[in-house]
Structure 1
Amino acid sequence: MRKFWTSIFLVYVSITMGACSYVRMTMGEVRLSLSPAHRQDAEAIKQANPDECGVLMGSIVSDKSTGVMFAIVAFSEDLLNIKPADFNILSEPGPYMLYVPRGRYRIVAFADFNKNRVFDQNELVGRLNNPGIVAVDRGQVISGLDFSVAGKGSNYVESPVDIQLPDTTEVVKKAINQGGAVRLDDRIFSREYGSMGLWSPAQFIHELGVNIYAPEKYDNGKIPILFVHGSGGTPRDWEYLAGNIDRTRFQLWFFFYPSGLRLETISGLLYENLSFLYKTYGFSTLYITAHSMGGLIVRSFFNRYALEGPPYSVKLFVSISTPWNGVESAQLAPEKSLFKGPPVWQDLAPESPFLKTLYHHHLPSELNYYLFFGYRSYKVFVKKAEDGVIALESQLYPTAQSEATKCFGFNENHASILSCKNVVEQYVQVLRAC
């Protein structure tokens, strides 16, 4: 199973790409026929330098393999001795995600047709042939790597890749497009995983992936509201606000991602997740609400939205306590320091290249954007107005204000603003007006 700063009954949607939806398997000890040292270099890069990694995404298509387990494997063409840089287990044909160091890769698929709980070397059932070799750069998200699987394996892979499943395999099937379900109090939404996503994004991805979760199966009669948490957060941060939304009119989606990654990468994962959901359900309208750093991710998402013009329309965007001009504390770890912090700090630093390009494209003309901000600090001594984490001048960055339909301020700190009755009342009024 795959898992991804401080910073309800749900269904997964992932794009793992948050997030397309991914069927993950609790692997426990996954044994390959090569020694642990064989994968150490790829794993070491992912753990120590997530900024050097990218994401490969696609789908396995097959109508003849019901009940058969699949393994999607990425072989590096650059690391010594062609070997798996990452693999993804699927309980049925569907979307997959691979998190790999930048480089060149061949992607192949195995199917456990003999059901011996081992993906044998002679159970190779598919190769990605177009392109045959995929080159991924740092922070890049490459999607559309789809291929079909037909019939039983007849080819033999020339690398040692036997992947054995444990005796007690738990298939996790919680993505919204897979019909699964999970509650907001599920353990995967614990603070532990939020912290993991910030400080160990590779481990987060390995255990959870990047998914979108929902409290119920898709209903084409309800407008989806997508919630995007902030640094070190989880979908559970939205529990109070989500509990006060009219569920007869709206359905709730929650994007869960590793917040330590670069913001443009996360934004790309969000975009691909939503693209996959559109292909699955064909929704026409979407509302988005984001807290803190999540607002930056969504604003970056709108830049790609402007360039590619997706077939669905985002009609509402509400940002809450977003650092539109960055966070001063993100500059505390000097560039040459032994402690550099998570990659995302580079983007959150005021005047970062990411922030300088954030407003390159206008928000959609059909969009209503509301800016919520807080101004109560829990600190005794403060040099400037803030909410305890984000400076007021960053929350009210002039360019962001100029884009807003209206701004609303609340006497709340960075965390309490999500559990404030006045905030909920104003938010509900905004929903009613749309």
Structure 2
Amino acid sequence: MMKHIQINSCSPKAMLRPFRISIDGRSILSVIMCFVFSGCAFMALEKDIALLEQRAHLQGTISNPSPHQKPIIVLAYQLLDADKKLVAYHVQHRPGIFQFIRIPGRYRIAAFEDANEDLVYQPTEWAGYVGNGSILTVKPGEELLHLDLTLKPPDEVTLAEAPNLTSPATKAQLDFSKIQAGEIVSIEDPRFSQENGKQGLWEPIQFLRQVGGGVYFLEPFDSEKIPVVFVHGAGGHPGNWASLIHQLDRTLYQPWVFYYPSGLRLNLCAEFLAEKLRKVFIGNKLNKNKIVVMAHSMGGLVSRSLVNMIVEEDVEQKFRVLFLTLSTPWGGHQAAQMGV
């Protein structure tokens, strides 16, 4: 069940400041400089978006019938002519959804249960391959979303690559390792800055690599409190919500903030939010089936897909969602006519 309330205002602080324009030499120069530097920013953003649209989305679900239930290492190998290179990996503390965002190419995806938690595969550990080790040929922008994998006992599967993630020769990166799902932070966290919010708008890939983003808690999880998920707008950051969060009744509600690079396509931002909330809910069970989503501007468009997903999946209508949006451009924005 979902209820939506739209509030028309310019920002989370709900303040408008009067301004005046004067036309003189310095003003004209400022306008010219603004267009020059904005043009550079648009070129950088266009490059990032073009790169993202070339990248493929590999996603699947891992099942682990092992009796040990230890962390799972998911590995992405790229096949380059006669060479095979480990290009990315995930560490998952429980079975479930995994995903990689990679450039086009030929890949093989493997996984093993790290029974002694040393990041080194031993032949005595449960393991498996997607498609029994078949090669995945990935095209630009392709989405392979059903790459399911079930770990098998060591007498059935052995990883020929024998991955050792502690070796200096291993140059693979933990795929977007800075992306969080449930980290406890302060609303004054230095990552929540205007500079980073701007980077998320104009350089979304660099934002994911350097800042990360995700869903953050502002206090330890409490199953009795109703989550309020705050979603910022274009070029924003969670700190924009500080004044509202400070006035929240913390005896009834627990604030969560979603931090994302707003320069990504809307559908990617929405998938990003949905995936991180899924991980949060997997590890934290609510006694009260209620959630509040509070979104500003573009954040409302990002959140709409999440809210629709909750409503569609909740066939018994046991989950109640209050969806509050602030100045969300449901009918589009006039800046779109200028190519913004």
TM-score by length of 1: 0.52
Answering whether residue 96 of structure 2 is matched by residue 90 of structure 1, we say: no
Give the SS at the match of 2:131: coil
Q: Does the 8 A contact of 2:129 with 2:149 survive in 1? A: no
Counterpart-to-counterpart distance in 1, 2:248 and 2:185? 18
The within-5 A match list for 1:95-244 is 96-101=98-103, 105-109=107-111, 125-129=127-131, 138=141, 140=143, 142=145, 145=148, 147-148=150-151, 154-157=158-161, 164=168, 175-176=181-182, 180-244=183-247
Give the SS at the match of 1:87: strand
Aligned residue pairs total 282
Answering whether residue 293 of structure 2 is matched by residue 288 of structure 1, we say: yes
Range 141-150 or range 214-223, more displaced: 141-150
Counterpart-to-counterpart distance in 2, 1:226 and 1:141? 29
Q: Does the 8 A contact of 1:86 with 1:99 survive in 2? A: no
Give the SS at the match of 1:129: helix
Q: Which amino acid aligns with 2:54?
A: E
Residues 270 and 99 (structure 1), Cα distance of their counterparts in 2 relative to 1, 3 Å cut: same
Q: Which amino acid aligns with 1:100?
A: R
Give the SS at the match of 1:189: coil
The within-5 A match list for 1:374-393 is none
**Corresponding position of 2:55:** 53
Deviations 1:96-142 (Å, cap 9, x if unpaired)?
Answer: 54222367643223678898877899999432338956668738584
Give the SS at the match of 2:108: strand
Q: Does the 8 A contact of 1:85 with 1:100 survive in 2? A: no
Q: CA deviation at 1:330?
A: 3.0
Q: CA deviation at 1:76?
A: 4.7
**Corresponding position of 2:27:** none
Q: CA deviation at 1:267?
A: 1.4
Q: CA deviation at 1:175?
A: 3.7
Residues 221 and 245 (structure 1), Cα distance of their counterparts in 2 relative to 1, 3 Å cut: same
Residues 259 and 211 (structure 1), Cα distance of their counterparts in 2 relative to 1, 3 Å cut: same
Counterpart-to-counterpart distance in 2, 1:236 and 1:141? 35
Range 117-126 or range 50-59, more displaced: 117-126
Q: Does the 8 A contact of 2:181 with 2:279 survive in 1? A: no
**Corresponding position of 2:332:** 326
Give the SS at the match of 1:316: strand
**Corresponding position of 1:73:** 75
Residues 243 and 83 (structure 1), Cα distance of their counterparts in 2 relative to 1, 3 Å cut: farther
Counterpart-to-counterpart distance in 1, 2:127 and 2:189? 35
> C-alpha root-mean-square deviation of aligned residues, in Å?
4.5
Q: CA deviation at 1:327?
A: 2.0
Q: CA deviation at 1:146?
A: 5.6
Counterpart-to-counterpart distance in 2, 1:184 and 1:141? 36
Deviations 1:362-408 (Å, cap 9, x if unpaired)?
Answer: xxxxxxxxxxxxxxxxxxxxxxxxxxxxxxxxxxxxxxxxxxxxxxx
Residues 145 and 117 (structure 1), Cα distance of their counterparts in 2 relative to 1, 3 Å cut: closer
Kindly, what percent of the aligned residue pairs are identical?
Answer: 30
Q: CA deviation at 1:323?
A: 1.4
Give the SS at the match of 2:300: helix
Q: CA deviation at 1:294?
A: 0.3
Residues 289 and 81 (structure 1), Cα distance of their counterparts in 2 relative to 1, 3 Å cut: farther
Range 104-113 or range 273-282, more displaced: 104-113
TM-score by length of 2: 0.64
Give the SS at the match of 1:188: coil
Deviations 1:295-325 (Å, cap 9, x if unpaired)?
Answer: 1112233344454437762431110111122
Counterpart-to-counterpart distance in 2, 1:158 and 1:118? 8
Q: Does the 8 A contact of 2:49 with 2:264 survive in 1? A: no
Residues 227 and 280 (structure 1), Cα distance of their counterparts in 2 relative to 1, 3 Å cut: same
Counterpart-to-counterpart distance in 2, 1:290 and 1:252? 13
Counterpart-to-counterpart distance in 2, 1:181 and 1:149? 35
Q: Which amino acid aligns with 1:291?
A: H
Counterpart-to-counterpart distance in 2, 1:226 and 1:106? 37
Residues 207 and 51 (structure 1), Cα distance of their counterparts in 2 relative to 1, 3 Å cut: same
**Structure 2 unaligned blocks of 5 or more:** 1-10, 12-46
